[in-house]
Amino acid sequence: MMDDYTFPSWIYLGVLAVFVGGAMKRLLASHLGPAPPLVAWLGATVLAERLWSFCLPAALLLALLGLACCLYSAARTGLARPGAALPARGKAVLVTGRRRPRPLCLGCDSGFGTATAKHLDNLGFEVFATVLDLSGEGARELERSCSPRLTLLQVDITQQQQVHQALLDTKAKVGLKGLWGLVNNAGVCVNFGDIELSLMSNFRGCMEVNFFGTLSITKSFLPLLRQAKGRIITISSPAGDQPFPCLAAYGASKAALNLLVNTLRHELEPWGVKVCTILPSSFKTGQSSNHAYWEQQHKQLLRTLPPALLEEYGEDYLTETKELFHLYASQANTDLSPVTDTIARALLAPRPRARYFAGPGVGLMYFIHSYCPLSLSSRFLQKLFLKKRLAPRALRDPPGFDPDLGLGLNNNNNNNNK
């Protein structure tokens, strides 16, 4: 009779693979010591094997596993309940931003900087907000909508002298208490398109702001952060972990930033400084819906491309990419609260997570990226971001094809010879 309840071997191996894979994934991703997650997951694996040895019915075993997952989820929710949050009063936070006309940044735009500064000010933080122009509309908007606790700093994070001056101004105000939080929000995405069609200056531009600029201001403010045993919150992007089509320059800079942040997390742990990464979904911020800007970028690309390369890809191929980008930007979320709320949660949680997903669909995206075959995850990204229908012109038309005549040049020569 017991044989009636025995699981097929492939189900047994599948569940064990989930347990062991989950253990390894959590161990590698955890910023805690290796012992707690390893012991917990090995214990769960042994428990699953023991239950199997008693030949429990499949329904009962699945119910036990489901109950364990529910208890684990409830425990995590209890740790993050609002009553457990740290007080915001008396804590100083610096929020970086870059108020220069620029394109969609998939989670790193001036819109986040403004919304974050306002939200943190409303919570009671002492906010230091960086702007490029103290007399600009963005700075005046913050002054009108925030409390007198807000301090505006004129900073371009790519200019070390301005970063140093901001450090001196902040240090003079915070004194011995130090800086509780640094929110690395500033970033740019200077173009979109295939790697072969992108200028080297586009890659350098993204790296200069997204990586070197963030590194510069983080290194400069680390003494104040160590003094307060504070937090570093960095707004990154899923494009830094996954190969989004036509976003190689932006994604490469975010990939470098992600590795930098992960390394900082381990190095600053002995100092008591917590380091978190926030990965937002698509939000409508800044210049993301500025069609005039992207039309200008598109025309400039057509002018600068070598004629032979433009012929091989085709102008219609480039135009389709631009239009798909417009469509994607127009459908982005206009409510920035998922990101600002997550930033506040990371700043005030007694035990902040190493990574936060902000916005719908990011968790599913990472699940598919982590656990599904590469071919499936790549196809998912292509369908999610830019649903290209046109292939490059050289792949559509045979060599020597003349679109005006509809005949290959070789055929024309043969006809002429006849």
Q: Largest alpha-carbon pair distance within the chain? A: 92
Closest CA to 99 of 134, 127, 126: 134
Cβ-proximal residues to 150 (8 Å cutoff; 6+ apart), any chain? 117, 121, 127, 129, 142, 143
In whole angstroms, give the CA distance from residue 39 to residue 43. Answer: 6
Annotation marks residue 250 as catalytic: yes
In whole angstroms, give the CA distance from residue 250 to residue 343. Answer: 22
- Give the gyration radius of the chain's Cα atoms: 26
Cα three-residue angle 236-378-335, rounded to 5 degrees: 40
> What residues form DSSP beta bridges with 126?
92
* Torsion from C-alpha of 248, 254, 256, 260, nearest 10 degrees: -170
In whole angstroms, give the CA distance from residue 268 to residue 234. Answer: 15
**E strands, 225-301, in order:** 231-235, 274-280
Of 12, 250, 356, 371, catalytic: 250
Q: Please answer whether residues 258 and 236 qualify as being in contact, where contact means their C-beta atoms are separated by less than 8 angstroms.
A: yes
In whole angstroms, give the CA distance from residue 171 to residue 184. Answer: 18
Closest CA to 208 of 190, 181, 233: 190
Catalytic residue numbers? 250
